[in-house]
Structure 1
Amino acid sequence: MEKTAKKPAKVNAALLSRVAEVKLTYRSKVKPSERPQVTSSADSYRILKETWDTGKLEFVEQFKVLLLNRANRVLGIYQLSTGGVAGTVADPKLVFVAALKACASAIVLCHNHPSGNTKPSTADLALTKKMKHAGEVLDIAVLDHLILTSESYYSLADEGLL
C-alpha cells in the first residue's frame, strides 16, 4: 500500500500578522582594543563596582552579568534584576539570552549583599551551579560569581566553589 504525502495546510495570512517578530542585534560603539579586559576577580570587581549605582549598593540587592568576548574583553554589563533587601531574581533564561544576543564567549555573574556580608548563601551556591551547567550546554563559560559589597567582594572562583 502506497502512502501519499499529505499536503501542507494553507496558512491564513491574517494569522501571520499576529506572530511576533524576533530581532537579535548587538551594537557597540567601543573598539575591541579599548574594552576593559578581565584577567582576575579583582578586574571584574573594579569594573562592576565602577558601574554600580552607589545609592543601591547598600540598599537593595541587584544582579548583573559581565559579558565577555573570547579575549575576556567586556562586551557589556547586563543589569538583570533589582530586588529587595534580602534577595533578587536571577532567571538563567534571561542571563543566557543576553549572553547569546551579545555573542559572549564567557560571563561573570555578580550580585550585591546590602548587609555587607560577603558570604554566599545556599541559594547563591545552587544558582551558581545551575548557571555553570547551563553555560556548559551553550558553550558559554561561567568564569566567576562575585558577591559585591561597598567595601569588598567574594569570588566563588577564587574560593574553589565554581
Structure 2
Amino acid sequence: MIQQVFKLPEQRRATFARQQRELVELLRAMVVGPSGSCERMHALFVDNARSYLGDTPIGNGAAGSLSMRIRELFQAALSVDAHGIILAHNHPSGLCRPSAYDIEATRKLKAIAQMLDIELLDHLIFTTGAVYSMRAGGQL
C-alpha cells in the first residue's frame, strides 16, 4: 500500500509501519462517517520529502455516488506547494474494491496531477472494516 510509495532506510521501517497505520486510521476517520450512508472523499498533501503539508475534504455524495470539483482539489494542492497527494474515499456499500468509475477517475486525476508536476501517490478506498490501495492493486 502506501509503503510502496515511501522509500525509507531499513532502520526506520518499524517507525514507518506505525506511521502508516496511523495515517490509514486518520484517513478512515475522515471518510467513514458515523452513519456510513454517504460517500466522502478527502485529500492529504505532502511535500517532496513525503512530509505532511495539510489535508482537506474534497467531495460528498449519496450512497453509490460522489461529486467533487477537480479544480478545488488542485487549487488546494498548489496552495500548499504539494508534491504529492493521497486520496481517500469510502464505499458505504461495504465493498472495498474500486468501481470502474473509481479506476477511470483516478487515471484522469493522475494525468492532471502529472501536468502540474504533482504525484498522485495513492487512492485509498475504505469500508468500515477494510482499506484498498489502488497503487498496491495496480490501478495507479
TM over 0.5: yes
Q: Which has the higher contact order (CA 8 A, sep 6+)?
A: 2
- 1:47 CA drift (Å): 2.5
Aligned-partner residue type, residue 125 of structure 2: I
- Note the 1:5-154 alignment, pairs <5 A: 42=21, 44-52=23-31, 54-56=33-35, 58-154=36-132
Give identity over the alignment, percent.
Answer: 31
More helix per residue: 2
Q: What residue identity is the alignment partner of 1:55?
A: P
TM-score, normalization: structure 2? 0.80
In structure 2, runs of 5+ residues without a counterpart are 1-15
Q: CA RMSD in A?
A: 2.2
Between the aligned partners of 1:42 and 1:124, the Cα distance in structure 2 is 23
Deviation per CA, 1:9-40: give whole Å up to 9, x if none: xxxxxxxxxxxxxxxxxxxxxxxxxxxx8999
CA contact 1:61–1:83 (8 Å) conserved in 2: yes
| Structure 1: tracts of 5 or more residues without a match | 1-36
Between the two proteins, the alignment pairs up a number of residues equal to 125
- The normalised TM-score by structure 1 is 0.70
